[in-house]
Each structure stands twice: as C-alpha cells, then as structure tokens.
Chain A
Amino acid sequence: MNVKYFPFMRPERYPHRLCPGCGHGIIQGAVIRAMSELEIPPKDIVLVAGIGCAGNITNMYIKADTFHVTHGRPLAFATGIKIANPRLNILVISGDGDLASIGGNHLIHAARRNIDFTVVCANNSVYGTTGGQLAATTPLGAITATTPKGNEEPPFDLCALVMGAGGSYVARSSVAQPQNLIKTIRKAFLHKGFAFIDVLSICPVQFGRRNNLRTPAEMIKDLRKNSIPMEKASALPKEDLRGKFVIGEFCADLERTWSGYLQG
C-alpha cells in the first residue's frame, strides 16, 4: 500500500490474519483509502467491530480508536458511544452473521433511529471463522457446512431490510469494484444519518471451495458476472434478477439527518 496511507494504518502489524484470497482485505484497503480522503483526523474516528472474519478488518490494523465487541452487538455499543459523545465519527465494520443474524435486532433499530453512523457490512454470505456454516445471506442452493445438500432458505436482502427499517443512506457495492466501494464508503461516511453499505465479499476457503469456485479469481469473476448495476436492473424482468446482486445506491435521503437527542 502507498505510504501516504500509513498514518491510518499500523504497518508493523502486517501481514494480516485473513486467509489468502479473502475479499475482506479489499474492504480494509477501501476503508483506509476512504478515511484518508475524508480529512477527518483519525482521533475523531471510532471503528467498531464484532466477532468473525470481519472483526479482523479493523482490529489491530487501522490506526484509530477501535472497539472490538461481542458477537452481534457492535451497533448497540456504537449507539452508546455516539450518544455519549456525538463529536466522534463512528464506522462500524462487521460481518453478515454479526449484523444480520445474531445482531439483526440492533440493525433494524439503529436504522429506525437513523442514528449517525456508517455501517460497512462485509458480506461473504457464510460463517467463515467457524468453518463455513449457513448464514442468513447464503444464496439459495449454495452448499455450506450445515447445508450439504444445498441451502433451502431464501437469504436476506439486507438493503431492502435496512431501507424498510428507516436507514437514510443504503447502498450495495462489492469487492469486485474497489473504486466504487471507496466512493460509496466516503459518501456514506459524510452522511449525517444511518448509512448502510452491503459490501459483497468473497470467501474462497469456506464458500468457494464447496461451490465450484476454487480460486479467488474465479470468485471475483463470478461476483462480477452476477452483479447488475441498479440502472440496468430496473429494466429487467424479475425472473432475470433471481440469484443476481443489484449494485448501487438504493436510498440516499441525505436531507434526513440525525440531530442527536434532546435529553441532555
């Protein structure tokens, strides 16, 4: 990485703990690049992460205050931090298991409050750390450690969920489009309300190898093939979108901001 990003990193901590080919490294790179372009001093940024592979995106690598919490609860911890000290800019980076499954309740309530923080959901559609079990985001039919004959449950559309709950900035990006990802994180970060980015990531070790996507490159190609920009998607019939990922900004109600709480 370019040395100009070093003030936002702990270079002595690398190489990182992620598996070879993990998409989360691309998310980490995008977060650091977005942070460095924001002109917000790192001391005013708090990164909050939960448990799982995505917890390794922030913890020990990014140079700012980092808070590593219990599984599923980063948004609840972040709510306490933000309300107690609204000056701090909160960036939550966590996984799909953390945010959408065990912590799903906190996701919808943080969105409903439209509280001012940015949530980057590193969505690899599987429980990576624990050995590749079914997630609430695993595509229909996919093989996981706990669905050896294929997943029979429809996955969450996290963007639709957060929009339904009241989030004011909702977008989907992916590690196959790093430039778009950096831009989206920057925009989300500057928004003064609940900003959620569903970032499609890849897990070659736990997901790819069970689903005929044996290399990271194959996974990236597959992700690109299945990603459809929102503008194109709106013209397509519903059946053509089955199993595809619509990429873009679903909601950018930048006027709808969080003004803190009146109490105190």
Chain B
Amino acid sequence: MGYKTIKGNLNPGLYFMQGDEALAEGAIAAGCRFFAGYPITPASEIMLHIVKRFPEVRGKFIQMEDELASIAAVIGASWTGVKAMTATSGPGFSLMMENIGHAVATETPCLIADIQRVGPGTGQATRVGAGDIMQAKWGSHGDYQIIALSPWSVQEMYDLAIRGFNLAERFRVPVILLGDATVGHLWESVEVKGELRVFDREKAPGRPPFDTPEEDGVPPMPSLGDGENLIVSGSTHDGYGFKKVGDGAVNEKLVNRLSKKILNHTDEIWEIDGHFLDDAEAVMISYGFVARSALRAAHELRGEGRRVGLLRLKTLWPFPEKAVREVSERCGKLLVPEMNLGQIVREVERVACSARVGGLNQTDGEPIFPQKIVNAMKRLLS
C-alpha cells in the first residue's frame, strides 16, 4: 500500500476533452469506482461521463435524491474500501456541508468536485464565479483542516483529480476540487500518460482506526466487513471509535490531530506554479481560470518592460503561506484578481503583512479578461 505506479486505463496520448469529462477521467485513472451524484449546472457533465465510462471499469454509480444523500452515500461507500467521489456546484455544495464535517470527523477519504458558478442563492447557474473558496475551508461547523485544489485548465482537471484522490487517501480527508464553470465547460487537449502514481489507503488489522502514536498522524483505515467490529462515528471518539461525548480531553486530542495531520504535511500538499518571479517588482497571486488571464497580462506587461510576475496557487487549502510570504518579502506589491468580491485576498493580506496588497474583483459571471488585469497592475505599479 501507499504510493505505487500503475498503468493508466486510457491509451497514452493526446485527447480532446471537456473539463468536466477530464475530471471524471482523472478520477477513474486514480481508481475511483464509486460515484453518487445529483444533477446541477455546470457540474452534471462529470456525472454523465462517469455513467458512460463506469461500466467499462466496473464502477458503481447511483443518482441520489439530493446532494446531502450524494455525499452521504460517498462516505458510506468509501468505508467499504472503494475510492469514491461526488460532483456538484454552489447550491449542492452548501447542502453537503454537514456531511463533509462528518467525513472530516470520521477521517473518510473522498473527492468532492465543486464546479463553481455565480452565487449567492441560485445566482446564475450557467455563468462562472469563484465564490465558494472560503466555504470550502470554513463551510462545515467546528475546527478542521481540509484540502482544496484549483485547476486552471482541462489538463489540470485531469491531473488534479488524480492528485486529489491521492491526497484524500494519503491523509484520510475529504479533498475539494474547486473548478469553475469556465474550466468545467472548456474543451482543450489533455495529455494522458501511460503510467501514473496513485496512493492506496493503508490497512493494519487490529490497530486503532482513529488514532496513531506515530508522528504522521494518519491512522490506517480498515473497511466495513473486515471483521474488525468497527465503530465509525461523527461524535467525539477515541482511537477505536468509542463515543466520548463528555470528555473534553479526548475532543481536544482528536481535533488537534485532525488538524495537525494536514498542517504538518503542507510540503506534501502545497503545489504552486511561478512565472517571471525572479526579478519581479510586482506579483499577481491568482488561481483557477483567472490565472490564465493573469499570465497573459504578465506577458503583455513584460513586453512593455515592466517587471511583473505571477504566483499561481494550485493548492488553495491549506493556504500556501510559505510561497506567498516569500514572494511578498521579495516584492512589495501584490495583486489578487479573483471572480468574487475578495476571498483569497484576505489570506494574502494575512500572510503578506509588509506588502501592499490589492484585489481585483468581478462577479458578473464572466472571467476577468487580461486587459483589466493589465490596467490594475499598471495602477499598482504607478
């Protein structure tokens, strides 16, 4: 168990795919064999592609009665030892929040794709937004850490689905793939490799499934039906799952371990992508589809002789503080373009306290175009 290299189930080569399809293919490549979902724009194509492809890989699919049920079924399925996922958009993501907390508390690996659209409320179902960034981190009640990834291309919908499953299984945590309507519906080439690295969860019969003496903090995970008489509970529990709802020390220990198993491994989790950073005087910090506009803006500004760079965050949660802090210490001007009224900018402000940080925000259901970013950068530089 642990990481191993396997052969992919698609022939290696270039494929022309839609973002949502690529996400589904990446999940299948990573070993996902259970999907429960509920229709929602703009994420339904993930489910449709799963329905088409699962018979070929002997996966199990069910369309549930709502999103609460979808994530519940995914958590149940994951405990039978199968890699499981669901996909949704804002309103469905909101409905999933309580059970995402259950998955955190029971340390259940699963992947949740949130293909963001414009909110709040029903908002604009067919148009793009990135308003769920903070919800992905803070949406369920209580203290916890979660992992969230942000793809900027169809290629990354594929790659980050694989990585998302690996991180979920490695750390026994729900992983949220924060795509958006533009990346979800985009058609692009995807390079599929012949081999890929996947992580399969560790089993260790007899060992406590909810605690570990090891520094790593991630206990082995048995399955239902293994004969271990498991007690899986969202209530505060000890290492063997026995409820300890009146013992504050047990909760303190559990909650701290659940957080630390993520925060102590940020070097394994953080993934960033830098462009023109070496001599940059001002840097754009961006993620998701908008980072493509930011890269275009960087090229244009460089063409005019302005020393600007781009730091792209592929991991959004836990927030990649180290990279942001380093950049902010080297150059004092940061711009955070995002398709919301300012969510990741708050994290950047928190981390880059010595820098001048500006936001560029747009919630009109369109991606932010490069020219708007160019203009904002010029204002920041002047």
Residues of A within 8 A of B (CB): 13, 42-44, 46, 48, 59-60, 63-70, 73, 76-81, 83-85, 87-88, 105-106, 109, 261, 263-264
Contact = CB atoms under 8 A, between A and B. Distances in A.
Interface string B83-126: 01000000000000011001000000000000000000000000
B224 A81 contact: yes
Summarize A's interface: helix, strand, loop or mixed. Answer: mixed
Nearest to A64: B229
Among A66, A73, A80, the one with the most B-chain Cβ atoms within 10 Å of its Cβ is A80
B84 A80 contact: yes
Contact of B224 (A46, A60, A106): A46
Interface stretch (B58-66, B282-290, B329-337): B58-66
B75 A80 contact: yes
A41 to B, nearest CB: 8
Nearest to B230: A65
Contacts of A63: 229
A87 B225 contact: yes
B80 to A, nearest CB: 4
Contact of B231 (A59, A78, A264): A59
Among B57, B64, B81, the one with the most A-chain Cβ atoms within 10 Å of its Cβ is B64
B136 interface: no
A76 B232 contact: no
B82 interface: yes
B25 to A, nearest CB: 16
Contacts of B148: none
16 contacts: A43-B226, A59-B231, A65-B228, A67-B230, A68-B232, A76-B72, A80-B62, A81-B76, A81-B80, A84-B77, A85-B80, A87-B225, A105-B66, A109-B64, A261-B60, A261-B62
A70 B233 contact: no
B73 A76 contact: yes
B65 A106 contact: yes
A42 B51 contact: no
Interface in B219-246: 223-235, 242-243
Contact of A69 (B82, B102, B224, B226): B102
B69 interface: yes
Contact of B235 (A13, A68, A77, A105): A68
B99 A84 contact: no
B80 A66 contact: no
A44 B228 CA distance: 11
B74 interface: yes
Contacts of A76: 64-65, 68-70, 72-73, 76
Nearest to A260: B60
B234 A69 contact: yes
A43 B205 CA distance: 14
A109 B66 CA distance: 10
B100 to A, nearest CB: 10
* A-B pairs, 6 with minimum CB distance: A80-B73, A80-B76, A76-B72, A84-B77, A43-B227, A76-B69
Contacts of A69: 72, 75, 102, 234
A106 B66 CA distance: 9
A245 B7 CA distance: 61
Contacts, number: 137
Nearest to B240: A60
A83 B72 contact: no
Contact of B36 (A44, A65, A78, A80): A80
Contacts of B84: 80, 84
Nearest to A77: B76
Interface string B32-55: 011010000000000000010011
A105 B55 contact: no
Given A70-B72, A73-B99, A79 B224 contact: no
Contacts of A81: 76-77, 79-80, 224
A63 B240 CA distance: 13
A264 B61 CA distance: 8
Interface in B172-201: none
A70 B224 CA distance: 18
Contact of B76 (A60, A67, A105, A264): A67
B234 A68 contact: yes
Among A42, A43, A44, A70, the one with the most B-chain Cβ atoms within 10 Å of its Cβ is A70
Contacts of B235: 68
A66 B69 CA distance: 19
Contacts of A42: 229
A263 B54 CA distance: 7
Nearest to B56: A264
Given A63-B229, A83-B34, A263-B60, A77 B243 contact: no
Contacts of A43: 225-227, 229
Contact of A46 (B36, B70, B225): B225
Contact of A70 (B34, B99, B229): B99
Contact of B75 (A13, A77, A85): A77
Among A68, A79, A83, A84, the one with the most B-chain Cβ atoms within 10 Å of its Cβ is A84
A72 B225 CA distance: 23
Contacts of B70: 76
B55 A79 contact: no
Nearest to A66: B231
A59 B231 CA distance: 7
A65 B225 contact: yes
B142 to A, nearest CB: 13
A59 B243 contact: yes
B49 to A, nearest CB: 13
A264 B68 contact: no
Nearest to A115: B62
A63 B241 CA distance: 13
